Structures are given as structure tokens and as C-alpha cells.
């Protein structure tokens, strides 16, 4: 049962083959069995979860069920959920209980989905390995000695280990797609503004975007149907007609132009990963797609641009954690300034402090023009590269990550090496474009992800392109040994 798709879960519930309470309890039992070794979940509340499942069963019995009613979904611990501890993976918010629901949470509640628990993550979503969490690192279910990717590593491990039917994540520079690649499942970052950021704890406001993490493209389409939509409480939410993201799942690929950026297949890409990606591209050619050579000349500047802009926004967003209104407060201090300093020193981890310092520096009066303003100008050039590329192609493909999952601690002392893990994903965030990762094979027993990038609001076509591949391959159905 646990390897079923969301559609299959829904059919089981509709046919009364299983109740939502029974399905939810199955996942709770699996979490109890596997979470001590994987560390995918930060907070569980079985009473709240099962109460939602009972309500879902009543809704199903009344004949008013929606597609995801009664299905257990894990929520990244960056989304506020009323009455649930919401930590963002930080000591700063270790005891914080949200007084309201994030838009994403309320959307799933309205659908009748079950909140299975809050998943582990890099502290304030800052990291590419899920090693910066105050609650400890998450293990990759394919190899416990390796990282699951970050920052949505808890959600990633939960999906890969079948501890949930699906999960939510957020992507600021690749934090849905990179762990999807490293853990072997499907993850989608929508167009910026498509999913409301209301109640999603901010890291870098012009880059953060919530998205679905699930076994298949079809599952992600069903989740995006729920998550997407205008929200007047978020000033960056896009007011546009609601779409049905499952509409193109059966599209034909004949004549589809796939652009391959030459910069994504150069030095730095692991040779074995490249072979897997090339094999996936060959499969698309068999399905009738045309391959087009394109260039994204400024994409190589994505990492330096990102690590100026994202820390600058983080410096501003995290200034609210001062020990006064909520969050960690130092036990002893001499005066107000001492309270600020001690509370922030104790509450934030090393990576968060590093980014706050970088962000404050680049925003300072003497360096604003040289760093922040210049980075914004290059950001525009990166976006323009995509505009030119999409004149030649319909979809862009390439590797999601330069390598398979690396060993825990391997890059902990080298921040730049860690940052390079997002070399292929950051550009879409800077441009505000949608991107996704789908399982494409294995290298030395570890999953490899194929990245699919589309033009603005092209999620339905991207999901159709991914679904077509998943109809002729079974990589997305693979699970770690001993999990099923």
C-alpha cells in the first residue's frame, strides 16, 4: 500500500478498502519505526493527526470528499500550523507554537488532507544537506551515511522512505529539487508567486517558493492543484485564474523542443551523473521530442549572485528575532542590547550567523552599490538568458545536482563546496521560473535527478513532460532497500 500514488490512495478511500484513520495510523507506525534512525520529523502529534483523519472519514462517508481528502501529507516545519510547534529547524523557535495557519496549510485543511507532522529542515532553510538543523541532521534513506539534500531534507527523506503519502517543501535556491534528486523522487518549484508565502517563515522573500514533493509527476500535479491560487494576504501572490495542473498529463511529446544548456554539461558535472542524464534525454528523443542546443551564458554567475542577494534578504528578515516578542530569549542579560546580542548568539546556528553577517555587510552603506546593486543587475541578465533560450525551445533539461548524495560531514567545513551543490538550480529562482526534478536512474546505487525547467506558468506542460517519461520508465517507483 505505501508505494501507492495519491490517486490510488484516493481510490482506496473512496471504495472503503481502507479508512483514513487506518491509512494514517499505518504511516504513524512507520514513522515510529524508522524516524529514530532517519530523523525526518521534528514534531508529531498523533491525537491531532488522527482527529483530522476521523473528520476526513466523515467527509468521505458524506460523499463530499475532494481528491486528497483523508490522505496523510507531511508538512515542512517552515509552515505555520495553528497549535503545532513550528521551529524552522532552529533553537530560536524551538518552543514556538503557531497561532495561525499558513496559506498552504489552510489549503490542505480545506481539501480534507491529514497533517501527518512537521518535517526536519536546515535551520531557516539555509543549507543544502540538512545538517544545519538544531534538531540534528537527516539521513538519506538510500544510505544512512549520506545526506538527503536540503533544506527540505526531512520532507525528502519522509517521501523516499514512504513515511508519508507526499510532503510539502520550499525552494529558495534548489531546496525542493536538489533533495528530490538526492533521494529519488519528484519535486516541483512553481513559478514565483504561484503559491502564497503567507505563514511560510521567510528566508529570502524574493526567492522563496513552496511546492510539492511526491513520488510522481501526477502526484505533484494533484498537490499543486491544492497549493496554488491567489491569496490577498501575500503581496507577492499572483492574481490569475485558477488552473488544473493535471490537464496535460497525457500530452504527446512529438515536436516538443527540449533545450540543453551547454553550461550544464561542462566541468563540474560528475561523469556518471552525466551518463544518466544523457540516457534520460535519449528516452525523450524516442518519445518524439527534438533536442536543441542552447546557452545560458550568465548561469555561471548564479551562485555568487544568489549568495549576495539571499543573505541580504535573510539579514533583514531575521532581524525580527530579537528575544522580545517571540522566540528564544537569553536567560541572563545586563540590558536591552545585551539581551539582543545574547538571544541571537544563542538562538542562531553557525550557518545562519554566517549569512546574516554576509547580508548585513553587502547592504551596508559602503558596499551596497558594489555588491547588492550589482547582483541585482546580473540577476536581470540571468533572467534575460532564459527569455532568449525559450525562443528556441519549449522546455529546458539538464542535471539537477552535479553529483549524487555526498557523505554527511564531507562538505561541512567548506561552505563554498556546499553552495556549489545548487549550481544548476539557483538560476530558476533568480529568474522566478518553475523547475522540477524527476528520478532518472542511479549512479553507484544512489539516485540521480533530471531537471526540467519551463517558462513562466508552464507547470502543467512540465508535469505532462515528466509524466510521459514516467510512463515508460519506473525510476520513480524505486524505493530504498528494506523500506517497503
Helices 302-317 and 374-389, packing angle to 10 deg: 130
Residue 107 counted as domain residue: yes
Rounded-to-10 torsion of CA 403, 170, 82, 18: -60
Structural domain boundaries, residue 78: 6-254+472-477
Grid cell at residue 469: 517519461
CATH number of the domain bearing residue 120 = 3.90.1300.10
Beta-ladder partners of 407: 146
CB contact at 8 A, 183 and 40: no
Write down the pTM of the prediction: 0.97
Q: What is the SS3 string spanning 405-443?
A: CCECCCCCCCHHHHHHHHCCCHHHHHHCCCEEEEEEEEE
Residue 263 counted as domain residue: no
CB contact at 8 A, 193 and 432: yes
Residue 313 counted as domain residue: no
CB contact at 8 A, 88 and 172: no
- Would you please indicate which residues are annotated as catalytic (active-site) residues? 76, 151, 175
**Cα distances (Å, whole numbers) of residue 451 to 293, 306, 425, 448:** 16, 19, 8, 10
Rounded Cα gap, residues 171 and 113, in angstroms = 22
Closest CA to 454 of 226, 233, 126, 194: 194
**Cα distances (Å, whole numbers) of residue 270 to 8, 193, 299, 360, 476:** 36, 33, 18, 35, 21
Residue 78 counted as domain residue: yes
Residue with cell 510522481: 216
Residues ≥6 apart with Cβ < 8 Å to 180: 149, 156, 186, 187, 213, 400, 436, 437, 438, 449
Residue 349 counted as domain residue: no
CB contact at 8 A, 200 and 175: no
Residue 156 counted as domain residue: yes
Rounded Cα gap, residues 13 and 16, in angstroms = 5
Residue 288 counted as domain residue: no
Each residue's pLDDT expressed in tens, for the chain with a length of 484 residues: 899 999 999 999 999 999 999 999 999 999 999 999 999 999 999 999 999 999 999 999 999 999 999 999 999 999 999 999 999 999 999 999 999 999 999 999 999 999 999 999 999 999 999 999 999 999 999 999 999 999 999 999 999 999 999 999 999 999 999 999 999 999 999 999 999 999 999 999 999 999 999 999 999 999 999 999 999 999 999 999 999 999 999 999 999 999 999 999 988 999 999 999 999 999 999 999 999 999 999 999 999 999 999 999 999 999 999 999 889 999 999 999 999 999 999 999 999 999 999 999 999 998 999 999 999 999 999 999 999 999 999 999 999 999 999 999 999 889 889 999 999 999 999 999 999 999 999 999 999 999 999 999 999 999 999 999 999 999 999 999 987 6
8-state DSSP, 123 = G
CB contact at 8 A, 79 and 127: no
Supply the pLDDT for residue 280: 98
- Give the number of domains in the chain: 1
Amino acid at each position: 500500500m505505501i508505494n501507492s500514488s495519491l490517486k490510488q490512495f484516493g481510490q482506496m478511500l473512496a471504495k472503503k478498502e481502507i479508512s483514513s484513520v487506518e491509512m494514517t495510523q499505518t504511516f504513524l507506525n512507520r514513522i515510529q519505526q524508522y524516524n529514530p534512525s532517519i530523523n525526518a520529523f521534528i514534531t508529531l502529534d498523533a491525537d491531532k493527526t488522527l482527529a483530522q483523519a476521523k473528520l476526513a472519514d466523515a467527509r468521505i462517508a458524506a460523499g463530499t470528499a475532494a481528491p486528497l481528502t483523508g490522505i496523510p501529507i507531511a508538512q515542512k516545519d517552515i509552515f505555520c500550523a495553528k497549535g503545532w510547534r513550528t521551529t524552522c529547524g532552529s533553537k530560536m523557535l524551538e518552543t514556538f507554537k503557531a497561532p495561525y495557519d499558513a496559506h498552504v496549510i489552510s489549503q490542505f485543511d480545506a481539501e480534507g488532507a491529514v497533517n501527518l507532522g512537521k518535517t526536519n529542515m536546515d535551520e531557516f532553510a539555509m543549507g543544502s544537506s540538512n545538517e544545519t538543523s538544531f534538531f540534528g541532521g537527516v539521513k538519506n534513506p538510500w544510505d544512512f551515511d549520506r545526506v538527503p539534500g536540503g533544506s527540505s531534507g526531512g520532507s525528502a527523506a519522509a517521501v523516499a522512505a514512504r513515511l508519508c503519502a507526499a510532503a510539502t517543501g520550499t525552494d529558495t535556491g534548489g531546496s525542493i529539487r536538489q533533495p528530490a534528486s538526492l533521494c529519488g523522487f519528484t519535486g516541483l518549484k512553481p513559478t514565483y508567486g504561484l503559491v502564497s508565502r503567507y505563514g511560510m517563515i521567510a528566508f529570502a522573500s524574493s526567492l522563496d517558493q513552496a511546492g510539492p514533493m511526491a513520488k510522481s509527476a501526477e502526484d505533484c500535479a494533484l498537490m499543486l492543484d491544492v497549493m496554488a491560487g491567489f491569496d490577498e494576504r501575500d503581496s507577492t501572490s499572483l492574481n490569475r485564474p485558477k488552473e488544473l495542473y493535471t490537464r496535460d498529463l497525457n500530452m504527446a511529446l512529438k515536436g516538443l523542443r527540449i533545450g540543453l544548456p551547454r553550461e550544464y554539461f561542462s566541468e563540474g558535472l560528475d561523469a556518471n551523473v552525466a551518463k544518466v542524464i544523457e540516457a534520460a534525454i535519449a528516452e525523450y528523443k524516442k518519445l518524439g521530442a527534438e533536442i536543441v542546443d542552447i546557452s545560458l551564458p550568465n548561469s555561471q554567475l548564479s551562485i555568487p549572485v544568489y549568495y549576495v542577494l539571499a543573505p541580504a534578504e535573510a539579514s533583514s528578515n531575521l532581524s525580527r528575532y530579537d528575544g522580545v516578542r517571540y522566540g528564544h530569549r537569553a536567560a541572563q542579560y545586563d540590558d536591552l542590547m545585551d539581551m539582543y546580542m545574547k538571544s541571537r548568539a544563542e538562538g542562531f546556528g553557525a550557518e545562519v550567523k554566517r549569512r546574516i553577517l554576509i547580508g548585513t555587510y553587502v547592504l551596508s552603506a559602503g558596499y551596497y552599490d558594489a555588491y547588492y546593486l550589482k547582483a541585482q543587475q546580473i540577476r536581470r541578465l540571468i533572467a534575460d538568458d532564459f527569455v532568449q533560450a525559450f525562443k528556441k525551445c519549449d522546455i529546458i533539461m539538464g542535471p539537477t545536482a552535479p553529483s549524487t548524495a555526498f557523505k554527511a560531514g564531507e562538505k561541512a567545513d567548506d561552505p563554498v563546496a556546499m553552495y556549489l551543490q545548487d549550481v544548476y538550480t539557483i538560476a530558476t529562482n533568480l529568474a522566478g521560473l518553475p523547475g522540477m526534478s524527476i528520478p532518472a536512474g542511479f549512479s553507484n546505487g544512489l539516485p540521480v535527478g533530471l531537471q526540467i525547467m519551463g517558462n513562466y506558468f508552464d507547470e502543467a506542460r512540465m508535469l505532462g513532460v515528466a509524466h510521459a517519461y514516467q510512463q515508460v520508465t519506473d525510476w520513480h517507483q524505486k524505493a530504498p532497500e528494506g523500506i517497503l
